[in-house]
Structure 1
Amino acid sequence: MIVSMKKALFTITLLFVATLSLIAQNQFPSQIWHKGNIYGADGQTYSGLVKYDLENNLVQLQTERISTFTASNVTNFEIYDEIYGGMRRFYSLPYSLNGDYETPIFFEVLTEGNDIALLCREYVATDSRNMGAWGPMGMNPFWGPQTMTGYRLAFNYYFFKDNQIQKYSLKKKDLFNLLSGYEDEISLFMRKNRLEHDKRGDLLRITAYYNELNKN
């Protein structure tokens, strides 16, 4: 009987762990605590579990207690995304989201070079096309559309060039204007690798390729 009880408890434990794993995987990255570091504007480094909120430009640190930082008192933070894989870095940069005055907000840096950097800001959008569907949650770092019941993970992209942050319109001609000087090479690179001009992972590869070309 004791053996049977032990087996039953072991099975319940496995099911509990599996359920926790499933719950975690069915959350968006901003809803999860990640191991990471926060670098304060005061020069201090804070390590622990980190959760970010790009909508409100806040980042939280969980140690013995939970501390909340704004983009104004943080220079950057980094997380290791254990579920989706890879280190992700976010920087506080001055930008005018609503056409008013510039204020520090968080941008994720996808790739950077001497001439240009690709930034993004993620948000959760209503997805009427996938109501009731669970979509792919792949990453690393080319994760594409993520969906949960009625919602999807979406992105706004920005290029940091000539000391300015420019929002990317997702139009192909604007991409070539931003990555000027190597239009033929980039066009060939995109065709050979079947890359699109409006997907996260593809934009990352295109921008990284441009920065490699621009080294020469």
Structure 2
Amino acid sequence: MTTTMKKAIFTLSLVFFGLVTVMAQNQFPSQVWHKGNIYGADGQTFSGLIKYDLDNNLVQLKSESIITLTASNVSNFEIYDEIFGGVRTFYSLPFSLNGDYETPIFFEVLTQGDDIALLCREYIATDSRSMGAYGAMGMNPFWGPQTMTGYRLAFNYYFFKNGRIQKYNLKKKELYNYLTGYDDEIDLFMRKNRLEHDKRGDLLRITAYYNELNKN
């Protein structure tokens, strides 16, 4: 094999590896395996690679084999999300999604304090914008809209307060109904930091700020 051919094959290998890496990154968090831990309702702890499915409230563990657990079998689980960076924590909590009866489902905990916790459930929604031949995921440090060809990552938000989980309808007036007693302080904090009431990272910062105010 000639030196030129070896160099060509090596170059093609790098290109292929780069393409595979890009395509792997162009996946939503629920579509990949993450390092993490699962804490069972019976007290057992499982460690390995984890993939979650919030639509069906399932979590899978890949170690020597793959096992699937439901929200009824799990207390909580945590993952290190290499796509967005950082540890993310999910709890199994009773809630009625369809208005019939409560059943354990998974919520991600974004921030929590003594008075209130901000929860969310992500889902993949249809997106009409074209993002290129292979798709591309747009992201920012505070989880702005992540998109791929035909789809985008979206969230439903919930507040856990007074022992109840209530869905947040993304209206600013309702936000103040949850974060009571500090309207002026929160309004100033939002204006000073140019925060929106309906964006993941901004909503997290606002709720965390409220919990700090509420400690005083």
Decide: shared fold, TM above 0.5: yes
2:54 is equivalent to residue 49 of structure 1: no
Relative to 1, partners in 2 of residues 1:64 and 1:4: Cα closer, same or farther, differing over 3 Å?
farther
User: Could you tell me which amino acid in structure 2 is paired with residue 138 of structure 1?
Assistant: M
Q: Which residue of 2 aligns with 1:63?
A: 63
Q: Distance in 2 between matches of 1:199 and 1:23?
A: 26
In structure 1, how many angstroms separate the alpha carbons of the residues matched to 2:187 and 2:81?
32
Structure 1 stretch displaced more, 22-31 or 93-102? 22-31
TM-score, structure 1 normalization: 0.94
Q: Does 1:206 align with 2:186?
A: no
Q: Letter of the 1:47 partner, please give it.
A: S
**3-state SS of the aligned residue for 1:92?**
strand
Question: Shift in Å at residue 52 of structure 1?
Answer: 0.4
2:138 is paired with a residue whose SS is coil
Report 1:121-132 matches (<5 A). Answer: 121-128=121-128, 130-132=129-131
* Distance in 1 (alpha carbons) for counterparts of 2:18 and 2:143: 23
Name the SS of the counterpart of 2:181 in structure 1.
coil
**Structure 1 pair 214/48, CA: closer, same or farther in 2 (3 Å)?**
same
**Counterpart-to-counterpart distance in 1, 2:194 and 2:92:** 33
Aligned to 1:180, what secondary structure does the other structure show? coil
Greater shift in the superposed pair: 7-16 or 88-97? 7-16
Compute the displacement of 1:21 (Å).
1.4
Residues 1:78 and 2:91 aligned together: no
CA offsets 1:55-93 (integer angstroms, 9 cap, x no match): 000000111211100000000011101121111110000
Shift in Å, 1:26: 1.0
Letter in 1 for 2:71: A
Identity of aligned residues (%): 76
1:115 to 2:112 alignment:
no
1:29 aligns with 2:36: no
Q: Could you tell me which runs of 5 or more consecutive residues in structure 2 were left unpaired when the two chains were aligned.
A: none
Contact kept? 1:85, 1:139, Cα under 8 Å: no
Q: Indicate conservation of the 8 Å contact 2:26/2:137, yes or no.
A: no
Give the SS at the match of 1:208.
Answer: helix
What is the identity, as a one-letter code, of the residue corresponding to 2:39?
A: Y
Q: Which amino acid is 1:28 matched to?
A: F
Matches of 1:55 and 1:166, distance apart in 2? 18
- Whole-Å separation in 1 of the counterparts to 2:24 and 2:89: 21
Instruction: Show structure 1 runs of 4+ deviating over 6 A.
Output: none
**Counterpart contact for 2:109–2:118, Cα < 8 Å:** yes
Tell me, yes or no, if the aligned pair for 1:25 and 1:137 is still in contact at 8 Å.
no
1:196 aligns with 2:196: yes
Matched letter for residue 91 of structure 1:
Y
Deviation of 1:151 (Å): 1.0
Instruction: Note the alpha carbon deviations across 1:28-55, whole angstroms, 9 max, x for none.
Output: 1111111111111111111111000000
TM-score normalized with structure 2 length: 0.94
Taking the aligned partners of 1:45 and 1:17, their CA distance within structure 2 comes to 35
Residue 87 of structure 2 corresponds to: 87
* Structure 2: distance between partners of 1:14 and 1:182: 55
| Cα-to-partner distance string for 1:114-136 (whole Å, 9 max, x where unaligned) | 111000000011122x1445565
How far apart are residue 2 of structure 1 and its match?
4.9
Aligned residues: 214
| Equivalent position of 1:146 in the other structure | 146
Range with greater deviation from structure 2 (185-194 or 38-47): 38-47
- Provide the rounded CA distance (Å) in 1 between the counterparts of 2:13 and 2:76: 38
